[in-house]
Amino acid sequence: MPRDLPRSIMVYAAGFGTRMKTLTRDMPKPMIPVAGRPLIDHTLDLARAVDPERIVVNTHYKADILQNHLAPQDVLISDEQPEILDTGGGLRHALPLLGGGPVYTSNSDAIWAGPNPFQMLRTAWDPARMDGLMLCVPLARAVGRQGGGDFSADEVGRISWGGDLVWGGVQIIKTAGLSAIKEQAFSTRLLWNPMIEAGRLVALEYPGHWCDVGHPEGITLAEQLLTGAHV
């Protein structure tokens, strides 16, 4: 695989899942069943379709449950102990496992109905003009979204903050900028902001539907989306 194409995928699964309320009292959010399978398995199915060299999953909250589930699967674990490191810090912590070059990152609390998000990003990735490529969903097709959008994009996809594009949680990102960030635990926003200022963070619009399964109501909505019952 060429060096300028991402070879590894980072799946975020360390969070506390507080929006899930009592559902995460005894299990981490990625283990909540959706259509009879743990939520994270839906993400891993999509990730494997691009044949990555490695998939890394980070863990923290109730890590043993998630690690036991993943043990038979071909993934590497980046355990964040004693402190959780947030998305940016977690990505930096996992770099020794991910290897060099750009990487995919993915949240593990969404369901996609349409083209494979990882394949879409791989096809559109242009490292000569991009430091990051984010898959975004228009607010009207973001099922279960609570609140407004995250971004807007100009005619060539360059991102700015604010607008009706919802980030779907899957991206290709160059990681070199992580070394300059002083904080230990930090959001990927600190990595994105210089890219936005340079016009090198780009949005790719997803043509299907996406469902946020970060809150209890999202489970039923996601199952409806998977069965084609969502209108």
**What DSSP string describes 182-214?**
--SS--THHHHHHHHHTT-EEEEE-SSEEEE-S
CA 225 to the chain's CA centroid: 19
Map tokens 């559902």 to a residue: 23
Pairing between strand 76-79 and 54-59?
A: parallel
Separation of first and last alpha carbons in the chain: 40
Closest CA to 15 of 185, 146, 211: 185
> pTM, whole model, 2 decimals?
0.96
Length of the chain (residues): 231
H helices of 23-116, in order, are 39-48, 63-70, 86-98
Identify whether the C-beta of residue 9 lies closer than 8 Å to the C-beta of residue 99: no
For every one of its 231 residues, what pLDDT tens digit does the chain have, with 9 covering 90 and above? 455 889 999 999 999 999 999 999 999 999 999 999 999 999 999 999 999 999 999 999 999 999 999 999 999 999 999 999 999 999 999 999 999 899 999 999 999 999 999 999 999 999 999 999 999 999 999 999 999 999 999 999 999 999 999 999 999 999 999 999 999 999 999 999 999 999 999 999 999 999 999 999 999 999 999 998 654
Under 8 Å CB-to-CB from 81, ≥6 apart: which residues? Answer: 60, 63
On the 0-12 / 13-18 / 19+ scale of CB atoms within 10 A, 25 is exposed
For 231, half-sphere exposure in the C-beta direction (CA atoms, 13 angstrom radius) is 0
- Kindly state the DSSP code that residue 36 receives in the 8-state scheme: T
Map tokens 């930090």 to a residue: 186
Across-strand partners of 152?
160
Map tokens 């044949």 to a residue: 51
Task: Say how many C-beta atoms besides its own lie within 10 A of residue 139's C-beta.
Answer: 15
Map tokens 């996992």 to a residue: 94
- Omega of the bond leading into 82 within 30 degrees of 0 (cis): yes
Domains detected in the chain: 8-227 (3.90.550.10)
